[in-house]
Structure 1
Amino acid sequence: MNTLARNFSHTFRRFFTASVLNIIGLAIAFASFFVIMTQVDYDLNFNKGYKNYEKIFRLEIKPNEEWGWQLWTPRPIAELIGTASPHVQAYAMTGWVNDNDYEVNGNLFNETTAFGFGDFMKVFQPEMIAGSTDALEKKDNVLIPASMAMRMFGSTDAVGKMLFQSKQSDNKPVTVGGVYKDFPENSQIGNHIFMPFDPDQDKNDWGNWNYTCYYRLDNPANVSEVEKLAFQQLLKVAPDDLREGLKQEKDNSNFFNLAPLSEVHFSKIGNKSASSRTTVYLLICVSFLIIIVAAINFMNFTLAETPMRIKSINTQKVLGATTGSLRRGLLAESVLISLIAFAASIVLLLILRDSGVQDLVTANLSLSKHLPLIAATFGISILIGVLAGLYPSFYVTSFPPALVLKGSFGLSPKGRKLRTILVCFQFFVAFMLIIAIGIMYTQSRYIRTSEYGYDKDAIIVGEMTQEARKQKDAVVEELSRISGIEGIAFSQFVLNSGDTYMSWGRGEGDKSINFACFPVDYRYLDVMGIRITDGRNFKPSDNGVYIFNEAARKKYPWMAVDMPSTPGDWNVVGFCENIKFSTFRNNDSTEPMAFIYVSKAKLWSYENTVNVRVSAGTDKVEIIRSLQKAMEKFTPGHDFHFRFMDQVLDNAYRNELRFTKQILLFSLLAIVISIIGVFGLTMFESEYRRKEIGIRKIFGSTTGEILRMFNKRYLYILIGCFIVAAPFGWWIGQHWLEGFAERTPIRAWIFLTSFLLVTAITMITVTVQSWKNANENPANSIKTE
Structure 2
Amino acid sequence: MFKNYFKIAWRNILKNSGYSFINIGGLAIGLACFLLIAIFISNELSYDTYHDKKDGIYRVIHHSNANNPEDAWVWGNAPIGPALKSDFPEIIEKAQFSGRSDILLEYNNRKFQEGECFYADASVFNVFSWPLLNGDARTALEAPYSIVLTESTAKKYFGNENPVGKTIEGIGGRANDGTYTVTGVMRDIPQNSHFNFDVLMSMSSFRQSRSEIFEWWGYVDFYTYLLVADNFDQAAFESKIPSFLEKHLDAEEAEEYYYNFSLENMNEIYLYSTADRQPGETGSLSNIYIFAIIGLFILVIASINFMNLSTARSLERAKEVGIRKVIGAERRGLIYQFLGESLILVLIASLLGLGLAFIGLPWLSSLTGNVFTMASFMTAPILLLYFGTSLLTALISGSYPAFVLSGFRPVSVLKGAFRTSPQGTNLRKGLVVLQFSISIALIASTVVVYYQLGFMLNKDMGFDKEQQLILDFNWDNQVLNKAEAVKGELLALADVSSVSLSRTVPSSHFPAAGTDIETYEGNMENFSPYIYEVDNNFIQHYKIDVVAGRAFSPDFPADSISSLIINEAAAKEFGYTDPNQIIGKKFQQWGREGTIVGVVKDFNYISLHSEVAPLTIRQVPYGRYLSLRISSTNYTKAIAAIENKWSQLAPHRPFIYSFLDDAFNKQYIADIRFRKLFTIFSCLAIFIACLGLFGLATYSAMLRTKEIGIRKVLGAEVSSIVTLLSKDFIKLVGIAIIIAIPFSWYAMRQWLNEYAYSIDVEWWVFVLAGAIALSIAIITVGFHAFKSANNNPVKSLRTE
TM-score of the superposed pair, with normalisation by structure 1: 0.86
Q: Do the aligned partners of residues 82 and 514 (structure 1) sit closer, same or farther apart at CA in structure 2, a change above 3 Å counting?
A: same
1:594 to 601, 616, 627: 616
Asked if residue 22 in structure 1 is aligned to residue 17 in structure 2, the reply is: no
Q: Do the aligned partners of residues 279 and 39 (structure 1) sit closer, same or farther apart at CA in structure 2, a change above 3 Å counting?
A: same
Instruction: Report the Cα distance in structure 1 between the residues aligned to 2:257 and 2:534, rounded to whole angstroms.
Output: 36
Instruction: Report the Cα distance in structure 1 between the residues aligned to 2:585 and 2:331, rounded to whole angstroms.
Output: 95
Q: 1:668-688: CA deviations, max 9, x gaps? A: 111111111211222233333
Instruction: Report the Cα distance in structure 2 between the residues aligned to 1:780 and 1:408, rounded to whole angstroms.
Output: 24
Q: CA deviation at 1:261?
A: 1.5
Q: 1:528-547: CA deviations, max 9, x gaps? A: 22234432433396534433
Instruction: Report the Cα distance in structure 2 between the residues aligned to 1:669 and 1:629, rounded to whole angstroms.
Output: 50
1:495 to 501, 506, 509: 506
Query: Counterpart amino acid of 1:290?
Result: I
Q: Secondary structure at the match of 1:650?
A: helix
What is the 5 A alignment of 1:707-746?
707-746=722-761
Q: CA deviation at 1:202?
A: 1.3
What is the 5 A alignment of 1:132-151?
132-151=137-156
Identify the residue that residue 233 of structure 1 maps to in structure 2. Answer: 244
Query: Counterpart amino acid of 1:188?
Result: H
Identify the residue that residue 564 of structure 2 maps to in structure 1. Answer: 546
Q: Do the aligned partners of residues 692 and 632 (structure 1) sit closer, same or farther apart at CA in structure 2, a change above 3 Å counting?
A: farther
2:365 to 358, 370, 374: 358
Asked if residue 100 in structure 1 is aligned to residue 103 in structure 2, the reply is: yes
Instruction: Report the Cα distance in structure 2 between the residues aligned to 1:324 and 1:665, rounded to whole angstroms.
Output: 42
Q: Secondary structure at the match of 2:214?
A: coil
Root-mean-square deviation (CA, aligned residues, Å) is 3.8
2:274 to 268, 278, 292: 268
What is the 5 A alignment of 1:429-444?
429-444=438-453
1:506 to 500, 516, 522: 516
Identify the residue that residue 448 of structure 1 maps to in structure 2. Answer: 457
Q: CA deviation at 1:401?
A: 6.1
* Cα contact 2:76–2:222 (8 A) shared by 1: yes
Identify the residue that residue 94 of structure 2 maps to in structure 1. Answer: 91
What is the 5 A alignment of 1:287-686?
287-307=295-315, 331-355=339-363, 357-372=364-379, 373-374=382-383, 376-396=385-405, 398-399=407-408, 404=413, 407-465=416-474, 469-470=479-480, 472=483, 476=487, 479-480=490-491, 484-496=495-507, 501-507=511-517, 510-512=524-526, 514-533=528-547, 534-539=549-554, 543-544=560-561, 545-553=563-571, 555-556=573-574, 557=576, 564-566=586-588, 569-588=593-612, 591-599=613-621, 601=622, 606-607=623-624, 609-615=625-631, 618-620=633-635, 623=638, 634=650, 638=654, 640-645=656-661, 647-686=662-701
Q: CA deviation at 1:403?
A: 5.5
Q: CA deviation at 1:745?
A: 2.1
Instruction: Report the Cα distance in structure 2 between the residues aligned to 1:351 and 1:149, rounded to whole angstroms.
Output: 33
Q: Do the aligned partners of residues 636 and 208 (structure 1) sit closer, same or farther apart at CA in structure 2, a change above 3 Å counting?
A: closer
* Cα contact 1:91–1:122 (8 A) shared by 2: no
Q: CA deviation at 1:55?
A: 0.9
Asked if residue 208 in structure 1 is aligned to residue 214 in structure 2, the reply is: no
Query: Counterpart amino acid of 1:546?
Result: L
Instruction: Report the Cα distance in structure 2 between the residues aligned to 1:622 and 1:323, rounded to whole angstroms.
Output: 81
Q: 1:540-582: CA deviations, max 9, x gaps? A: 9653443323444455458765764349614444333332222
| Bigger mean CA offset, 697-706 vs 186-195 | 697-706
Q: CA deviation at 1:779?
A: 5.8
Q: 1:456-491: CA deviations, max 9, x gaps? A: 233243533566845655754665576543223233
Q: Do the aligned partners of residues 110 and 298 (structure 1) sit closer, same or farther apart at CA in structure 2, a change above 3 Å counting?
A: farther
* Cα contact 2:539–2:551 (8 A) shared by 1: no
Instruction: Report the Cα distance in structure 2 between the residues aligned to 1:171 and 1:510, rounded to whole angstroms.
Output: 39
Q: 1:592-625: CA deviations, max 9, x gaps? A: 32322212x4xxxx22x33232237x14466556
Q: Do the aligned partners of residues 622 and 422 (structure 1) sit closer, same or farther apart at CA in structure 2, a change above 3 Å counting?
A: farther
Q: 1:18-75: CA deviations, max 9, x gaps? A: 3333344233323322332233122222222212211111112222334632223322
Query: Counterpart amino acid of 1:142?
Result: I
Identify the residue that residue 250 of structure 1 maps to in structure 2. Answer: none
Identify the residue that residue 194 of structure 1 maps to in structure 2. Answer: 200
Q: CA deviation at 1:497?
A: 5.2
Asked if residue 758 in structure 1 is aligned to residue 773 in structure 2, the reply is: yes
Query: Counterpart amino acid of 2:537?
Result: R
Q: Do the aligned partners of residues 466 and 311 (structure 1) sit closer, same or farther apart at CA in structure 2, a change above 3 Å counting?
A: farther
Q: CA deviation at 1:160?
A: 2.3
Q: How many residues align?
A: 766
Instruction: Report the Cα distance in structure 2 between the residues aligned to 1:166 and 1:436, rounded to whole angstroms.
Output: 50
Q: Do the aligned partners of residues 731 and 333 (structure 1) sit closer, same or farther apart at CA in structure 2, a change above 3 Å counting?
A: same
Instruction: Report the Cα distance in structure 1 between the residues aligned to 2:443 and 2:93, rounded to whole angstroms.
Output: 49
Q: Do the aligned partners of residues 33 and 208 (structure 1) sit closer, same or farther apart at CA in structure 2, a change above 3 Å counting?
A: same
* Cα contact 1:35–1:365 (8 A) shared by 2: no
Q: Do the aligned partners of residues 34 and 230 (structure 1) sit closer, same or farther apart at CA in structure 2, a change above 3 Å counting?
A: same
Structure 2: runs of 5+ lacking an equivalent = none
Q: 1:211-236: CA deviations, max 9, x gaps? A: 22211110364223332334312223
Instruction: Report the Cα distance in structure 1 between the residues aligned to 2:659 and 2:129, rounded to whole angstroms.
Output: 37
What is the 5 A alignment of 1:4-153?
11=12, 14-66=15-67, 68-111=71-114, 112-130=116-134, 131-153=136-158
Q: Do the aligned partners of residues 156 and 179 (structure 1) sit closer, same or farther apart at CA in structure 2, a change above 3 Å counting?
A: farther
Structure 1: runs of 5+ lacking an equivalent = 248-253
| Bigger mean CA offset, 286-295 vs 172-181 | 172-181
Q: CA deviation at 1:584?
A: 1.8
Query: Counterpart amino acid of 2:143?
Result: K
Q: CA deviation at 1:744?
A: 2.3
Instruction: Report the Cα distance in structure 1 between the residues aligned to 2:159 and 2:730, rounded to whole angstroms.
Output: 66
1:258 to 254, 263, 283: 263
Instruction: Report the Cα distance in structure 1 between the residues aligned to 2:307 and 2:493, rounded to whole angstroms.
Output: 65
* Cα contact 2:567–2:616 (8 A) shared by 1: yes
| Bigger mean CA offset, 261-270 vs 405-414 | 405-414
Q: CA deviation at 1:174?
A: 1.6
Q: Do the aligned partners of residues 513 and 387 (structure 1) sit closer, same or farther apart at CA in structure 2, a change above 3 Å counting?
A: closer
Q: CA deviation at 1:366?
A: 1.6
Identify the residue that residue 217 of structure 1 maps to in structure 2. Answer: 228
* Cα contact 1:631–1:640 (8 A) shared by 2: no
Q: Do the aligned partners of residues 494 and 564 (structure 1) sit closer, same or farther apart at CA in structure 2, a change above 3 Å counting?
A: same
Instruction: Report the Cα distance in structure 2 between the residues aligned to 1:406 and 1:742, rounded to whole angstroms.
Output: 68
Q: Secondary structure at the match of 2:247?
A: helix
Q: 1:615-647: CA deviations, max 9, x gaps? A: 37x1446655665676567468957252351x3
Query: Counterpart amino acid of 2:515?
Result: G
Q: Do the aligned partners of residues 692 and 551 (structure 1) sit closer, same or farther apart at CA in structure 2, a change above 3 Å counting?
A: same
Q: Secondary structure at the match of 2:73?
A: coil
Instruction: Report the Cα distance in structure 1 between the residues aligned to 2:486 and 2:4, rounded to whole angstroms.
Output: 78
Q: Secondary structure at the match of 1:134?
A: coil
| Bigger mean CA offset, 330-339 vs 59-68 | 330-339
Query: Counterpart amino acid of 1:19?
Result: S
